[in-house]
Amino acid sequence: MPDYRQGDIFAISRDEGFQLAIVFGYLGLNFMACYWYDFAKAYPNVFLQPRPNPFESLPNKPVEYSHNRFMWFVPKRENHGMKDSDLKEVFDEAFMWSHQTGNLKVITNGIPDTNHGHDGYINRRRDDKRVEFLSELAINAESTFNLKITLINLNDSFTRNFP
Q: What is the CATH number of the domain that holds 88?
A: 3.40.220.10
Could you read off the pLDDT of 95-145 as tens digits, one per residue?
A: 999 999 999 999 999 888 778 788 989 988 999 999 999 999 999 999 999
Report the candidate in 146, 151, 72 with the shortest Cα–Cα distance to residue 107.
Answer: 151
Domain that holds residue 90: 3-161
Domain count, the chain: 1
Q: Whole-prediction pTM value?
A: 0.93
Residues in contact with 7: Cβ distance below 8 Å, sequence separation at least 6, in sequence order? 152, 154
